[in-house]
Chains A and B, each alone.
Chain A
Amino acid sequence: MNEQNSIPVTKTERSAKFVKTGFQIGGNYIKHYSKKLFNPQLGRDELNEDNATDIYKSLSELKGSALKIAQMLSMDKNILPKSYIEKFTQSQYNAPPLSGPLIVRTFTRNFGKTPEAIYDKFNLVSSNAASIGQVHEAELNGQKLAVKIQYPGVGDSISSDLKLVKPFAFRLLGMSEKELNIYIKEVEERLLEETDYELEVRRSIEITEACKDLKNVVFPTYYPALSGKRIITMDWINGMHLKEFLQTNPSQELRNKIGQALWDFYNFQQHELRAVHADPHPGNFMITPDEKLGVIDFGCIKEMPDDFYVPFFSLISSDVIKDKKRTIEAFRKLEMIHQHDDEAQIEFYYQSYLEMIRLFAKPYTSKTFDFSQPEFFTQLYAYGEKIAKMPEFKQARGVKHFIYVNRTNFGLYTILQELKAVVKTDTFNPHLT
């Protein structure tokens, strides 16, 4: 029986899980420092690895929104050390499934019919888990379908999960609760949106329609009539996940093709739609047998308002960055520099964020960019490590939109790096007027 036997449900139980993790992490530090007494050369990698394993274990048992947060943290490679990431990325693939009768229950509640009465074929054993639901294979009129079913009570538990995650986030990011609140709220909003499957179907249809002319990108067809509050029916996309795809040793040409499709997909959304699929974790993409990129999950969409989009992308794709005054002005608009900062602070944050923006904008500065070159990512990590150590960055800066926009773009860069793709970066450019 490999179905999960119990999910900690009540807040007390969930808290217990987190408390346990807290203890274990404490234990890992003790283990680390006692080993270090005898072996001063011992690096922190092992410690980080131990901590990451424990956090992952506890989060994956909690499922739902906590798992989603694990995924979010794992995308922020610039903040977390490397070994955290390896463990966290595990959460992007598998979590254990729920029982058959509950699935039937969900169907009868949504449609008044059992799955057998709706589809020609329906597999009660799920084929994989999405973080807040699971996916089943079905068939109707000869079309293979993917049916996504949401776990009951997910929406309910999100807020309480986030409250539990907060102390972790403080420790990982070293921020105070008050400062972190606007960000936690942003995350909460997005997560709650993700539980709204009706909204997801509407947006999926909108975005896939808008993106239909993009080269080498394919989307499943969505079936609103077979979807509801807790269920989404869409076409099954055949193909390989990124990891499997890479194991087949694809040619450079093919890597570039997939990488380009991914780049175009994201930049078309950012600059033409101003709303972006903000969940670029590898589990949401498939590489189809006819060598196209399949995009399968529109649960998390980040809309970019003008007051964020314009100052942010003016820094990236115009001369603004060469002009210190205008750059500082943009930083102010983005709340990276605060109103009451003194001269020294302004200078300090100006320099630090300038470095970040330069790094971030690097792929945009030439017509093509080779994501396989390790220097770019080494610089990114080094920058992340550097600011993580700076006391000046223990306080929250930057508007809330950065969370998802950063996650999206760093997620995109990371996948392109794994693909070792060379992409044309001038296919879709920012519109700043």
Chain B
Amino acid sequence: MATSQQIKTGYIDYVLTHDEKPKSVYSFVKKIKISKAEFYKFYGSFESIEKLIWAELTAEAIDTIQQQEVWAQYSSRDRMLSFFYSYMELLKGHRSFIVYSLKKHTDRFSTPEVLAGAKPIFENFATGLINEGLESGELADRKFFAKRYKDALWVQFAFLVNFWINDDSAEFERTDEAIEKGINVTFDLFQRSPIDNLVEYGRFLSRNVNFSDISSSKH
């Protein structure tokens, strides 16, 4: 009896050997000596195998960092940094497959289809962090915008994975720098900043101007 794991391993082995996905489910199941029914019991298509791999890696990274002792001491910013460092470490173990899986996706401006499974997991994780940050005051609660913070982090997710794929530095050190820098910048934007004060000042002025208009019209 085939398991989900066997099919996954068989699939990864196939695409890495042939640098393309199997021509059909039929030829694939024949190759790994299972029945078509067994395949469809676990997966609807080859794409769903890839999606699942991404989703599992993402969940695994989150799980790993939450078990670290320092987790409790970390701020939201640190937690997000920690996620990306662990994630990249995990991806490293599957680099050939990851590169294969993403390089099919050439449109830089949309989210690759294979990440569709990882996205909700990451966003759920990010939303949790953001809410904690908003509560503790680490992040600024801005009308409308606070709800979009997680989107900004997803953009970083896609960017960093892509950066890592093209990183040829020793031990992917440049990716570490990209994480440190990118996540810090993103969280800086989430924090209370001069822009918030500027907006408030503008609001104050607009009220004040109205007031003086009214008072001058009385004369």
* Interface members, chain A 1-43 (any B CB < 8 Å): 1, 5-7, 9
Q: Complex: how many Å from CA A120 to CA B28?
A: 52
Q: How many residue pairs, one in A and one in B, have C-beta atoms under 8 Å apart?
A: 71
29 CB contacts below 8 A, A to B, read A1-B191, A6-B185, A6-B188, A7-B177, A9-B178, A9-B181, A98-B180, A99-B180, A100-B73, A100-B74, A100-B82, A101-B74, A101-B79, A101-B85, A102-B85, A104-B85, A105-B86, A109-B89, A109-B171, A114-B68, A116-B70, A124-B73, A152-B173, A153-B169, A153-B173, A153-B174, A153-B176, A153-B177, A156-B170
Q: Complex: how many Å from CA A9 to CA B176?
A: 11
Q: A108 in the interface, Cβ–Cβ < 8 Å?
A: yes
* Interface members, chain B 62-86 (any A CB < 8 Å): 68-70, 73-74, 77-79, 81-82, 85-86
Q: Complex: how many Å from CA A1 to CA B85?
A: 21
Interface of A is mostly: loop
B68 to chain A: closest residue by CB: A114
Contact of A152 among B69, B79, B177 (CB under 8 A): B177
A114 to chain B: closest residue by CB: B68
Q: B184 in the interface, Cβ–Cβ < 8 Å?
A: yes
B80 to chain A: closest residue by CB: A101
Which chain A residues border B74 with CB–CB below 8 Å? 100-101
Contact of B69 among A5, A99, A116, A153 (CB under 8 A): A116
With A98-B180, A101-B85, A114-B68: A156-B185 Cβ-Cβ less than 8 Å: no
Q: Complex: how many Å from CA A156 to CA B178?
A: 14
Which chain A residues border B70 with CB–CB below 8 Å? 100, 104, 114, 116, 124
**Chain B: interface residue count, which band?**
20 to 34
Contact of A101 among B81, B170, B177, B191 (CB under 8 A): B81
Tell me whether A5 and B184 are in contact (CB under 8 A).
Answer: yes
Which chain B residues border A104 with CB–CB below 8 Å? 68, 70, 82, 85
Q: Complex: how many Å from CA A5 to CA B187?
A: 9
Binding site for A on B (CB under 8 A): 68-70, 73-74, 77-79, 81-82, 85-86, 89, 169-171, 173-174, 176-181, 184-185, 188, 191
Size of the A side of the interface (Cβ < 8 Å), in residues, is 20
B85 to chain A: closest residue by CB: A105
Known pairs A101-B79, A104-B82; list 17 more (Cβ under 8 Å). Answer: A1-B191, A5-B188, A6-B181, A6-B188, A7-B177, A101-B82, A101-B85, A102-B81, A102-B85, A102-B176, A105-B85, A108-B89, A114-B69, A116-B69, A152-B177, A153-B173, A156-B169
Tell me whether A101 and B78 are in contact (CB under 8 A).
Answer: yes
Q: Complex: how many Å from CA A51 to CA B77?
A: 36
With A99-B184, A114-B69: A9-B177 Cβ-Cβ less than 8 Å: yes
Q: Complex: how many Å from CA A128 to CA B171?
A: 26
Tell me whether B81 and A6 are in contact (CB under 8 A).
Answer: no
Tell me whether B176 and A156 are in contact (CB under 8 A).
Answer: no
A116 to chain B: closest residue by CB: B69
B143 to chain A, nearest CB (A): 24
* Interface members, chain A 207-244 (any B CB < 8 Å): none
Q: Complex: how many Å from CA A7 to CA B70?
A: 24
Query: Top 5 closest A-B pairs, CB basis?
Result: A101-B82, A101-B81, A105-B85, A152-B176, A152-B173
B187 to chain A: closest residue by CB: A5
A157 to chain B: closest residue by CB: B177
B48 to chain A, nearest CB (A): 32
B152 to chain A, nearest CB (A): 16
Which chain B residues border A99 with CB–CB below 8 Å? 77-78, 81, 180, 184
Contact of B180 among A102, A108, A124 (CB under 8 A): A102
Q: Complex: how many Å from CA A139 to CA B69?
A: 17
| Residue among B78, B86, B191 having the largest count of chain A Cβ atoms under 10 Å | B78
Q: Complex: how many Å from CA A102 to CA B86?
A: 10
Q: Complex: how many Å from CA A9 to CA B89?
A: 21
Q: Complex: how many Å from CA A105 to CA B74?
A: 14
Q: Complex: how many Å from CA A100 to CA B180?
A: 10
Q: Complex: how many Å from CA A78 to CA B216?
A: 69
A100 to chain B: closest residue by CB: B78
Q: Complex: how many Å from CA A99 to CA B191?
A: 17
* Interface members, chain A 90-147 (any B CB < 8 Å): 98-102, 104-105, 108-109, 114, 116, 124
Q: Complex: how many Å from CA A124 to CA B176?
A: 18
| Residue among A1, A101, A114, A124 having the largest count of chain B Cβ atoms under 10 Å | A101
